């Protein structure tokens, strides 16, 4: 995007160039926010409800539009039109600001999220560091929301969120380290370019340590995004709605917008860091076709992880606070350190990477997935044989 803007503003100089640059970047940002992030977050909300319903043998929203697809628009409109209630006992200024801080933190991260080889708002030199830094604003927003609501449930939710996010930033960072070691850069495009389009050339199959770091990063990212099984900050059964208890209408929806959009962000990070990002086989010379293929490549990989997160939410129970901390400090952090060290050692022993090891890791994952589907088919057959009906 930056190169494109530079050519577009080729004739301009001095102040005109800088203002043009600023306006151009703002325009790109607006396109990404309104044309991509908001629809994706909205559609995710609909999809999530449909997917859970399916997994829990229910029907889910199916009234608005085909398969209830327009439900997210209806919900958004409804919440926009609702009264913006500010309870009297809250701290009104902070109460109003909090949702915006959350949304700014989450939207700002998309500046460095790639959508294709040339489709990225700004390929920052510090790409992945920037994304982690920007998302750390979210926790400040949640804390403000929790405190300013003047409500013990909100307060507890905010505090839980703070402890959780601060703790899980460490394993998440350790899960990113191996990738940075392997690519030798923090730039998102640089990380993707260091991988190939073939699955065994992805960073996740580099060594057993990289594979472990990949899973470690996913778990930590779920915890940082306040997703089940780590959704303690808004645990409905304990804290009413956690930090969002006092919020209503669009302000409440903004929190959930950030949560759903954050799912795509997690997916995009997983795809970028470990799954080759937008890499596609060079099948055509046509730049537009190639661009579309690249976008689909990273989009579908991201959507896969969005689906896995929904799947986890539909099936796993919530962990307790002490279990949350035990998992982080006693398991994930040591595993993360071993992953970083192991990746470094592997790189020193074999700077070119070991192709056999890559194939072995790839084969292992394929075997696990194949076995999973075998079990699913087995159980479906057994259930049918015993006369149970599978809700469809």
Say if residues 294 and 278 touch (Cβ distance below 8 Å): yes
Question: Minimum distance from CB of 186 to other proteins (Å)?
Answer: 6
Residue among 185 and 201 whose Cβ is closer to other proteins: 185
Residue 41 CB, shortest distance to other proteins, in Å, is 22
Q: At what angle do helices 152-183 and 127-148 cross, to 10 degrees?
A: 180
Near other proteins in 10-69, by CB under 8 A: 13-15, 17-19, 21-22, 25
Cα-trace Rg, the chain: 22
Residues 253-282 that bind other proteins (CB under 8 A): none
CB of 199 to other proteins, least distance (A): 29
**Beta carbon nearer to other proteins, 61 or 146:** 146
Kindly state the DSSP code that residue 279 receives in the 8-state scheme.
-
Residue 94 within binding range of other proteins, rule CB under 8 A: yes
- The backbone torsions φ and ψ at residue 161, rounded to the nearest 5 degrees and listed phi first, read -60, -45
Tokens at 231, concatenated: 């959704």
Q: How far is the CB of 13 from other proteins (least distance, A)?
A: 8
Q: Judged by CB under 8 A, which of 163, 201, 296, 312 binds other proteins?
A: 163
**Closest-CA residue to 270 (of 202, 208, 329):** 202
Contacting residue, 61, 68, 158, 233, with other proteins by CB under 8 A: 158
Residue numbers 108-127 binding other proteins by CB under 8 A: 122, 124-126
Instruction: Judge whether 247 and 145 are in contact, CB under 8 Å.
Output: yes
Q: Choose between 106 and 362: whose C-beta lies nearer to other proteins.
A: 106
Show Cβ contacts of residue 390 under 8 Å, excluding neighbours closer than 6 positions: 380, 383, 384
**What is the number of residues in the chain?**
392
Nearer to other proteins, 162 or 357 (CB): 162
The SS3 of residue 246 is coil
Please report whether residue 185 would count as binding other proteins according to CB under 8 A.
Answer: yes
As measured in angstroms, the least distance from the Cβ of 173 to other proteins is 9
Task: State the alpha helices, DSSP H only, in 59-151.
Answer: 71-81, 92-109, 127-148
The pair phi, psi for residue 149, each rounded to 5°, is -70, -20
Segment 135 to 154, residues that bind other proteins, using CB under 8 A: 136-137, 139-140, 143-144, 146-147
Interatomic CA distance for residues 363 and 45, integer angstroms: 34
Cis preceding linkage at 229, omega within 30: yes
Q: How far is the CB of 124 from other proteins (least distance, A)?
A: 7
Shortest separation between residue 43's beta carbon and other proteins, angstroms: 29
Q: How far is the CB of 42 from other proteins (least distance, A)?
A: 27
CB of 72 to other proteins, least distance (A): 30
Q: Does 186 bind other proteins (CB under 8 A)?
A: yes
Select the span of 157-165, 274-282, 320-328, 357-365 touching other proteins (CB under 8 A).
157-165
Nearer to other proteins, 74 or 181 (CB): 181
Q: What is the DSSP string of 357-383?
A: HHHHHHHHHHHHHHHHHHHHHHHHHHH
Instruction: Supply the minimum distance, in Å, between the C-beta of residue 97 and other proteins.
Output: 8
Contacts 24+ apart (CB under 8 A), 332-335: 332/168, 332/171, 332/174, 332/216, 332/219, 332/220, 333/170, 333/171, 333/174, 335/171, 335/212, 335/216
Pull the structure tokens for residue 336.
């993360």
Determine the interface stretch with other proteins among 33-41, 48-56, 181-189, 356-364 (rule: CB under 8 A): 181-189
What is the phi/psi pair of residue 8, to 5°? Answer: -60, -35
Give the one residue of 166, 287, 321, 367 binding other proteins; rule: CB under 8 A.
Answer: 166
Contact footprint for other proteins (CB under 8 A): 2, 6, 13-15, 17-19, 21-22, 25, 91, 94, 122, 124-126, 129-130, 132-134, 136-137, 139-140, 143-144, 146-147, 155, 158-159, 162-163, 165-166, 169, 185-187
């Amino acid at each position: 995007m930056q190169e494109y803007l530079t050519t577009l503003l080729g004739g301009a100089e001095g102040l005109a160039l800088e203002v043009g640059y600023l306006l151009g970047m703002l325009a790109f940002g607006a396109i990404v926010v309104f044309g991509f992030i908001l629809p994706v977050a909205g559609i995710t909300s609909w999809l999530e409800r449909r997917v859970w319903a399916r997994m829990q043998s229910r029907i889910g929203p199916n009234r608005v539009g085909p398969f209830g697809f327009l439900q997210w628009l209806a919900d958004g409109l409804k919440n926009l039109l609702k009264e913006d209630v500010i309870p009297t006992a809250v701290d009104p200024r902070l109460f109003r600001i909090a949702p915006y801080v959350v949304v700014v933190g989450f939207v700002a991260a998309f500046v460095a999220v790639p959508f294709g080889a040339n489709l990225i708002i700004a390929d920052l030199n510090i790409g992945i560091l920037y994304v982690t830094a920007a998302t750390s604003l979210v926790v400040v927003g949640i804390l403000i929301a929790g405190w300013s609501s003047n409500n013990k449930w909100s307060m507890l939710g905010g505090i839980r969120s703070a402890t959780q996010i601060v703790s899980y930033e460490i394993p998440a960072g350790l899960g990113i380290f191996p990738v940075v070691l392997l690519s030798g850069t923090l730039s998102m495009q640089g990380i993707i370019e260091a991988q190939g389009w073939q699955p065994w050339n992805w960073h996740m199959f580099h060594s057993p340590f990289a594979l472990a770091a990949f899973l470690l990063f996913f778990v930590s990212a779920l915890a940082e995004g306040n997703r089940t099984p780590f959704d303690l900050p808004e645990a409905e059964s304990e804290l009413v709605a956690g930090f969002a208890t006092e919020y209503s209408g669009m302000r409440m929806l903004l929190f959930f917008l950030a949560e759903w959009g954050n799912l795509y962000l997690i997916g995009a990070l997983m795809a970028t860091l470990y799954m080759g990002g937008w890499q596609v086989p060079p099948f055509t010379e046509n730049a537009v076709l190639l661009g579309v293929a690249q976008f689909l490549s990273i989009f579908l990989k991201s959507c896969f992880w969005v689906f896995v997160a929904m799947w986890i939410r539909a099936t796993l129970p919530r962990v307790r606070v002490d279990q949350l901390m035990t998992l982080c400090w006693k398991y994930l952090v040591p595993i993360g350190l071993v992953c970083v060290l192991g990746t470094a050692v592997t790189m020193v022993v074999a700077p070119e990477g070991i192709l056999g090891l890559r194939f072995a890791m790839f084969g292992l994952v394929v075997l696990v997935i194949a076995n999973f589907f075998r079990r699913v088919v087995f159980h479906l057959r057994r259930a049918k044989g015993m006369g149970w009906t599978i809700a469809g």
